[in-house]
Amino acid sequence: MADGGLHGELFCDREMAALLADRAALQGMLDFEAALARAEAEAGVIPVAAADAIATQCRADFYDIAEIGRAATLAGNPAIPLVKALTQRVAAIDVEAARWVHYGATSQDVIDSGQAQQYRAAQDLILARSERLAHALAALAREHRRTPVIGRTFLQHAVPISFGLKAANWLGPIVSFHDDFMICGQSAHQLGGAAGSLAALGDRAEAVSEAFARVTASVGAVRVPWHTERRRPARIAAELGLLLGHLGKMAQDIALMAQTEIGELAEPDAPGKGGSSAMPHKRNPVLCTLILTAAKRAPGLVATMLAAMPQEHERAMGGWHAEWPTLRELFIIAGSALNQAVALIEGLQVFPEQMQYNLDLTNGLIMAERVSLALAATLGRGEAHHLLEQASRDCLASGRHLRDVLADHPQLAGRLSAEELDDLFDPTSYRGATDAIIDRILVLYEEERDYMSGNG
């Protein structure tokens, strides 16, 4: 993963890969052991000198990851061989201190806490990227507030909308995700011991628990162990799944609008980007493709996290283990998809002239709803709708503009003045609550900006 391998950074970028690499996982587990020793020394359970000796050996560079991995295959998890290796290193410098390594803790404390440290760093990266994406989408919504584009339902022309409205609707869920993920996306260290009661620490258990929370405050710790209460990782997975689903929606919209026959948008251009091995003229939407790839992988991963929640008694048999690669994979694909979404939106090419061309394709039919509503004032809604259906069929059959068909219609001709028709067939004036909706989403974005910038 470090160098991307054959697939480069198609599915995992280097920055996120580094945060979730085995070395980072190992360092997270070692940081737990150092924090545990400091907390126990603070509570008077182990000598301060022992805690210092243990901390000096808690550097990932001291350990052979492959060797620990081979031992983990037999042991059932990597914490067991790691604790053994750590104990040996501490014994080499202080035999007395070695007896206090991992004192009162269990493998799950080590693994969950080490992963929590990794996920906290990954969460920060996800939030930074979602912030950048929100800024780009807000700028797009403002710039194209009044740019008309055809709205499409069931992939067919419906009525005109503003491209700024579409961009604002892309923005809203990103703002909500950022807000939600700042809270429920936080993983946490835990200390529960063999069965979640810290019984091995006797009457000093509560003191150690308090000290451990203080020692790990900068990376987050909870006082109640969550060995088999797995809402925390499941909620993180669900939020990442929701994010990926929305990014997929954005990518799919853009890819459809970038089709040759539509041509309203295009991905950022670069030499060699989106080419075809067979067709020199191709410009494939590769960013959209990769975002959609992540969105299609996410549901199965989220489902695995939910399926892993019913865990047996005080230690899971398989469910906990299933979480390890699954949540890591969700962070990886979410980080990659966000990176690609930022590149996509920041460099998105918008073609208002083509949007206008497509608005004109149906010879005014996209304004039939508006004309029908205007006529309803004198004809009644049902009759007006019926007559506009007839006129629309005549428009399609003849290839004439709907306005010309109306002028020749025996029951509709003359009912609307030329000035009224000019306004009715102007897509830029058919806005409804467009500005209010855009403004509401932008207000939410502005309110979140302080939190995005760390000022909230």
Q: Which residues are known catalytic residues? A: 276, 315
Question: CA 278, CA 224: separation in Å to the nearest integer?
Answer: 59
Q: What is the dihedral of CA 34, 197, 218, 183, to 10 degrees?
A: 150
CA distances, 411 to each of 29, 116, 257 (Å)? 80, 72, 38
CA 273 to chain centre: 24
- E strand segments, 180-279: 265-266
Q: Please give the full DSSP string across 5-68, using - where no structure is assigned.
A: GGGTTSS--HHHHHHTSHHHHHHHHHHHHHHHHHHHHHTTSS-HHHHHHHHHT--GGGS-HHHH
- Measure the CA–CA gap between 371 and 430, rounded to whole angstroms: 11
End-to-end CA distance of the chain: 36
Half-sphere exposure of 289 toward its Cβ, with a 13 Å CA cutoff?
9
The answer to whether 376 and 384 are in contact (CB under 8 A) is yes
In this structure, which long-range contacts are made by residues 202-211, counting pairs with CB atoms below 8 Å and at least 24 apart in sequence? 204/43, 204/44, 204/45, 205/104, 207/43, 207/44, 207/45, 208/39, 208/40, 208/43, 208/45, 208/104, 210/43, 211/38, 211/39, 211/40, 211/42, 211/43
Torsion-angle region of 259 (φ positive above 0: left; ψ -120 to 50: alpha; else: beta): beta
> How many residues are given for the chain?
456
| 242 Rama class: left (phi>0) / alpha (psi -120 to 50) / beta | alpha
C-beta separation of 336 from 297 below 8 A: no
Short-list 57, 135, 91, 131, CA closest to 454: 131
Give yes or no for a contact between 115 and 28, defined as CB atoms under 8 angstroms apart: yes
